[in-house]
Amino acid sequence: MSWQESLRYPDPAVRSLDPSFNRLRLPLASVERLWTGSRWGEGPVWLGDQRCLLWSDIPNNRVLRWDEETGAVTHFRKPSNNANGHTRDRQGRIVACEHLGRRVIRHEYDGSITVIADSYQGRKLNSPNDVVVKSDGSIWFTDPPFGIGGFYEGEKFTPEHPHTNVYRVDGNSGKITCVCDDVDHPNGLAFSPDESVLYVVESRSDPRNILAYDVNGATLSNRRVFIRTEPGETPDGFRVDVEGNLWCGWGMGGPGLDGVKVFNSAGAPIGFIDLPERCANVCFGGRHRNRLFMAAAHSLYALYVNTQGAAGG
């Protein structure tokens, strides 16, 4: 790939699609490529206490660690069971989705691993994809079959569930429930800042949709299409800032469509960050959660922005 960081301010790679985006961009910040060398980057999560970022390289069966102080990239976990999405719970523990393990796990403080969920109603999960933790301690995750369709991002298995579900694991009892089974291959998910809405990417609809549900404690209602994409557009993972804007990994539509697309809380597109490759997922990090980290197909990118990531992302 040809990549050269912009020497000009403002960075032309950060584009306003609506004037409202101008206050979210910093005129003296540019897109930086922090590292390159993955086969398929995914699932970034920021560890503020360690000043580092973790993200998945699924086909290479590893989780990578980027150090903020030195810029060094090392292995956090290898083999990783083809880990995909990551987040942290409200106690700071890392929660991860595994394709090969077909489970959701938690990394404990002592280095041990706790299995959060690996089956539902006596049948194995498909391949958990992305995960978020609500303020009540419950863990919500998507379970499409992408990691069991072949031997590139996991191993080939026949799905055991007739639907591709979104699940909730109770933070106290550990009980797993299906909160919706009406999403055509759910992928990325995130809560609104006040946790009243859950957004879910429907990755096999045509065109792809980002759905919204009202959150009623441990259940969901009022399914609706929040964002309907244009032909060729591919939303993947995303996170929400404190104002309710969605920062979505985007791509696979050719030049000008690879990067991060930003929508306001009403679902209107307001900004775009151009990258030379598809972006799979994002997270906010840094001391003030005002640095957007972008896990793309082969590389890790970052951009300082004029907002902060919502808690729990």
Read off the pLDDT of residues 72-95 as tens digits, 9 standing for 90 and up.
999 999 999 999 999 999 999 999
Output the CA–CA distances (angstroms, integers) from residue 255 to 33, 35, 157, 177, 290, in the order listed: 18, 21, 35, 41, 27
Residue 165 corresponds to which tokens in the numbers above? 């579900």
Residues 181 and 163: beta-carbon distance below 8 Å: yes
**Sequential DSSP letters for the chain:** -------SSS-TTEEESSGGGGGGB-TT---EEEEE--SSEEEEEEETTTTEEEEEETTTTEEEEEETTT--EEEEESS-SSEEEEEE-TTS-EEEEETTTTEEEEE-TTS-EEEEESEETTEE------EEE-TTS-EEEE--SGGGSSSSSS------SSS--EEEE-TTT--EEEEE--SSSEEEEEE-TTSSEEEEEETTSSS-EEEEEEEETTEEEEEEEEEEPPTT-----EEEBTTS-EEEEE-SS-TTSSEEEEE-TTS-EEEEEE-SS-EEEEEEESTTS-EEEEEESSEEEEEEBSS-BPTT-
Q: HEC string of 270-311?
A: EEEEECCCCEEEEEEECCCCCEEEEEECCEEEEEEECCCECC
User: What is the rounded average pLDDT of the residues 119-147?
Assistant: 97
Flag whether 129 is marked binding. Answer: yes
Flag whether 243 is marked binding. Answer: no
pLDDT score for 230 = 87
Cβ contacts of residue 112 below 8 Å, gap of 6+? none
CB atoms within 10 A of CB 256: 9
**Considering the chain, what percentage of its residues have pLDDT values greater than 70?**
99
Architecture of domain 15-304: 6 Propeller (2.120)
Which band of pLDDT confidence, cut at 50, 70 and 90, is reported for residue 1?
Answer: low
User: Taking all residues of the chain, what is their mean pLDDT, rounded to a whole number?
Assistant: 96
Flag whether 108 is marked binding. Answer: no
Flag whether 60 is marked binding. Answer: no
146 φ/ψ angles, rounded to the nearest 5 degrees: -60, -35
Residue 1 corresponds to which tokens in the numbers above? 């790939």
Which band of pLDDT confidence, cut at 50, 70 and 90, is reported for residue 256?
Answer: confident
At 19-78, the pLDDT tens digits run 999 999 999 999 999 999 999 999 999 999 999 999 999 999 999 999 999 999 999 999
Output the CA–CA distances (angstroms, integers) from residue 279 to 40, 54, 160, 161, 168, in the order listed: 10, 16, 30, 29, 26
The residues assigned a catalytic role are 236
Which band of pLDDT confidence, cut at 50, 70 and 90, is reported for residue 206?
Answer: confident
Query: Which amino acid is present at 7?
Result: L
pLDDT score for 255 = 72
At 273-313, the pLDDT tens digits run 999 999 999 999 999 999 999 999 999 999 999 999 998 76
Residues 211 and 202: beta-carbon distance below 8 Å: yes
Residues 275 and 31: beta-carbon distance below 8 Å: yes
User: What is the rounded average pLDDT of the residues 204-226?
Assistant: 95
User: What is the rounded average pLDDT of the residues 171-196?
Assistant: 97
At 137-164, the pLDDT tens digits run 999 999 999 999 999 999 999 999 989 9
pLDDT score for 313 = 66
